[in-house]
Amino acid sequence: MTDHGQPQVTGGSSGIGKCVAIECYKQGAFITLIARNENKLLQTKKEIEKYSVNDKQVVLCISVDVSKDYGHVENVLKQAQEKLGPVDMLVNCAGTSITGKFEDLEMNCFENLMAVNYLGSVYPSHAVIPTMKERRMGRIVFVSSQAGQLGLFGYTAYSPTKFALRGLAEALQMEVKPYNIYITVAYPPDTDTPGFAEESKTKPLETKLISETSSVCQAEQVARIIVKDAIMVCMGIFRIVGLFYLGSFDSIVRRCMIQREKSESTDKTE
Ligand SMILES: NC(=O)C1=CN([C@@H]2O[C@H](COP(=O)(O)OP(=O)(O)OC[C@H]3O[C@@H](n4cnc5c(N)ncnc54)[C@H](OP(=O)(O)O)[C@@H]3O)[C@@H](O)[C@H]2O)C=CC1
Ligand SMILES: CCCCCCCCCCCCCCCC(=O)[C@@H](N)CO
């Protein structure tokens, strides 16, 4: 059934997720887009279909809130797999941001962001893992953020949700590695998307000034890196060989250094 990729992309109707879907579609994949707004999904489906590389390719749309009812999320993702075949990659892009000073943010900001950005990645991942384990293959991508590596002014509600994804990814990786399932985490910088434009409307001045120290990326570029990393990590054997080489190169450099120091000190004593 699957001589082509079968990715499911949450948040696939906009921004980074849309570009990830296009990137996979250009490689011949059958795509499932997951987001809430049906019109946006259909519009994106049409846009993606322009990039088809063969006439069998399909773009399936699922309208669901990834952060609300786990049972429902599980059902719709399973239904999609019945239609298109087993998913080989899940890219968790659905997410949103609210900025503001800690004391100015309402409690529901903290609750909603944790629900969408964190649980909204847990639910779809939990739904696809059993099939991936059975098939002894799969990839799951979590889209964190540079604000998931550093806590920055204005991001008290957002950053923790993105830090959480890293903890989830590392613990889950240890569990699923024996099943040949690979987890990657992306940490994108500010990226030009509808979500970013929305976020920028209410950013505190401090956050703006901090953000302006680094430039805004294009969503296409971020998506390309996300897809490439997800595929590269699968080449487990190459990674191991690569690490071995790095280790052996380090020891060459170390030997040369010791050699050079020795000959320098004998030069001095002569
Ligand atoms: N743009 C940026 O500067 C950066 C973004 N990121 C992260 O990348 C991801 C994508 O961001 P970006 O492309 O900017 O976002 P956009 O706002 O442009 O797109 C978000 C997508 O997620 C969907 N979505 C949002 N909430 C839910 C939900 N509860 N259930 C299902 N789908 C949902 C939206 O569709 P709908 O609303 O119809 O549901 C839409 O398809 C986010 O996780 C974000 O935190 C990370 C670093 C930088
Ligand atoms: C090793 C770590 C390197 C860190 C470099 C520091 C750069 C600071 C710039 C601030 C960037 C803020 C990113 C938030 C992006 C985001 O997730 C939102 N735009 C979502 O909408």
Q: Residue 116: CB within 6 Å of ligand 1?
A: yes
Cβ 41 under 6 angstroms from ligand 1: no
Q: How close is the Cα of 261 to the center of ligand 1, in Å?
A: 55
DSSP 150: S
Residue 182 in any domain: the answer is yes
**196, exposed or middle or buried, with CB in 10 Å at 0-12, 13-18, 19+?**
middle
Compute the average pLDDT of residues 190-197: 98
pLDDT attached to residue 266? 81
Q: What is the pairing mode between strands 181-186 and 138-143? A: parallel
Residue 143 lies in a domain: yes
Band (3; pLDDT cuts 50, 70, 90): low
Asked if pLDDT for residue 163 goes beyond 60, the answer is yes
With respect to residue 92, please indicate whether it lies within any of the assigned structural domains.
yes
- Note the ipTM here: 0.97
> Is there a domain that residue 71 lies in?
yes
Query: Bigger pLDDT: 145 or 4?
Result: 145
- Residue indicated by tokens 């060459």: 252
Nearest 10 degrees: CA dihedral of 85, 86, 89, 90? 100
In the prediction, which pLDDT does 254 show? 76
For residue 152, the ligand closest to its alpha carbon is: 2
Binding-site residues, ligand 2, Cβ < 6 A: 97, 145-147, 149-150, 152, 189-190, 195-196, 199, 210-211, 213-214
Specify the DSSP class assigned to residue 119: I
How many separate domains does the chain show? Answer: 1
pLDDT beyond 80 at 119: yes
Is the pLDDT at 2 greater than 50? The verdict is no
Amino acid in position 28: G
Hunting for tokens 């190169």 — which residue is that?
A: 249
User: Between the CA atoms of 183, 186, 192 and 195, what dihedral angle is there, to the nearest 10 degrees?
Assistant: 60
For residue 15 and ligand 1, the question of a CB distance below 6 A is answered with yes
The minimum-distance atom of ligand 1 relative to the CA of 35 is 32
H-state helical runs in the chain: 15-25, 38-49, 70-84, 107-113, 120-135, 159-176, 194-200, 205-211, 219-232, 236-269
Most informative mutation of 9, 13, 146 for ligand 1 (most atoms within 8 A of CB): 13
13-68 per-position pLDDT tens digit? 999 999 999 999 999 999 999 999 999 999 999 999 999 999 999 999 999 999 99
What does the pLDDT look like over 177-189, one tens digit per residue? 888 999 999 999 9
This prediction's pTM: 0.89
* CA 38 to centroid of ligand 2, rounded, Å: 30
Atom of ligand 2 nearest to the CA of 191: 19
Which pLDDT score is estimated for 262?
87
Output the pLDDT for position 209. 95
What mean pLDDT, rounded, does the chain reach? 92
- Identify which of 8, 10, 20, 36 to mutate to test ligand 1's pocket (most ligand atoms within 8 A of the CB): 36
Q: What is the CATH number of the domain that holds 100?
A: 3.40.50.720
Is residue 186 in a domain?
Answer: yes
Q: Is residue 267 part of a domain?
A: no
Q: Which residue has the higher pLDDT, 252 or 120?
A: 120
Say if 245 falls within a structural domain.
no
pLDDT value at 146 more than 80: yes
85 SS3 class: coil
Residue 154 structural domain:
7-234
- What is the set of active-site residues? 144, 158, 162
Q: What is the pLDDT of residues 215-262, one digit of tens each?
A: 999 999 999 999 998 887 655 555 556 567 666 677 777 788 788 888
132 CB near ligand 1 (under 6 Å) = no
Q: Is 254 part of a structural domain of the chain?
A: no
- Residue 60: CB partners within 8 Å, gap ≥ 6? 30, 31, 32, 33, 80, 83, 84
Q: 241 vs 72, which has greater pLDDT? A: 72
Ligand 1 close to Cβ of residue 187 (< 6 A): no
Cα-to-centroid distance, 184 and ligand 1 (Å): 18
Q: Is 166 a residue whose pLDDT tops 50?
A: yes
Label residue 215 left, alpha or beta by phi (over 0 means left) and psi (-120 to 50 means alpha): beta
